[in-house]
Amino acid sequence: MPRRVPVERWTADGPRADADWLADEAPLEILIEHSFKDQRRTASWGITLRTPGHDDELALGLLFSEGRIGGAADVEPVEVLDAARVRVAFGAHVDLDLGRPRAATAACGFCGSPDLPVTEALEDKGFRMTYEALARLPALLEARQGQFQDTGAVHAAALFDAAGGLVAVREDIGRHNAVDKLIGWALLQRILPLEQTGLLLSGRAGFELVHKAARAGIPFVAAIGAPTTLSVDLARNANVTLAGFLRPTKVNVYAGNWRLRRLSRGPISL
């Protein structure tokens, strides 16, 4: 939750004492309990900085989006106290890479990784939506960004359906954390892959966010901010629709424009 702190506000009239709401930023260690030579051992998978809340979703979503687990069945329910403890289910075959402890910041999901992940192209499962439904999403997301309205310091990510309704919303100081929380939520709901769902981002659409979407089976990514060259290349190769600079009156479509239609007027041309 946001925390209220003292602040001195300056204007041309001079300073005045006040208070301000700040976004909560705190480290979370992810502990992995797994089998090793017929014994159960616990190792640290790393530390991430995040906004506290939905930490079980964050741990699961992070492990899934980085390809370490294949689904919720690979692990037991996550226990969150001082750390997030993830217990690997007996018999599950997972690649946790415990020999390389990692420390993630709130800025980049793949910073510190030796190479970029390979993303397979998604099959077309029929997801389509109208421009009119897409254009309504920024206002819907803004109304659900309570922590951003209080602090101005957190990102938001949302899952939306083809009709333009928001399915779930998460906020976090890290844009990739917000997405991982959504993916973790979907894992717990047993609704992956998200083949009939889009991903809405409050900021830019970087490579790591498009990769996470494709990994979760999400065919449509829309961002209030800009994409990057690498994210556009990935979207085109992965058969993901990528839209940026989304506003109530306009949007740029960089890949997969055939998933976006106008009411009774066919697909939008690039």
108: tokens are 């980049």
Q: From CA 217, how far away is CA 101, in angstroms rounded?
A: 28
Question: What are φ and ψ of residue 192, in 5° steps?
Answer: -80, 145
160: tokens are 């939306």
Token pair 């629709």: residue:
241
Domain boundaries, the chain: 26-104, 129-267
- Residue 54 makes CB contacts below 8 A (sequence gap 6+) with 170, 181, 184, 185
Q: From CA 3, how far away is CA 174, in angstroms rounded?
A: 17
Per-residue pLDDT reduced to its tens digit, 156-210? 999 999 999 999 999 999 999 999 999 999 999 999 999 999 999 999 999 999 9
Per-residue pLDDT reduced to its tens digit, 233-269? 999 999 999 999 999 999 999 999 999 998 755 555 4
DSSP code per residue over 122-173: PP-----EEHHHHHTHHHHHHHT-HHHHHHS--EEEEEE-TTS-EEEEEEES
Q: Is 111 one of the annotated active-site residues of the chain? A: no
Per-residue pLDDT reduced to its tens digit, 112-145? 444 555 678 999 999 999 999 999 999 999 999 9
**Overall fold of domain 129-267:** Cytidine Deaminase; domain 2 (3.40.140)
The two beta strands, 250-255 and 241-247, are antiparallel
SS3 state of residue 10: strand
pTM of the predicted model, to two decimals?
Answer: 0.87
Q: From CA 184, how far away is CA 62, in angstroms rounded?
A: 8
Q: Where are the alpha helices (DSSP H) in the chain?
A: 55-65, 131-135, 137-143, 146-151, 175-189, 207-215, 229-238
The catalytic position among 49, 98, 108, 226 is 108
Per-residue pLDDT reduced to its tens digit, 220-242? 999 999 999 999 999 999 999 99
The percentage of residues in the chain with a pLDDT greater than 90, rounded to a whole number, is 63
| Domain 26-104, CATH among 2.60.40.10, 3.40.50.1950, 3.90.550.10, 3.10.20.10 | 3.10.20.10
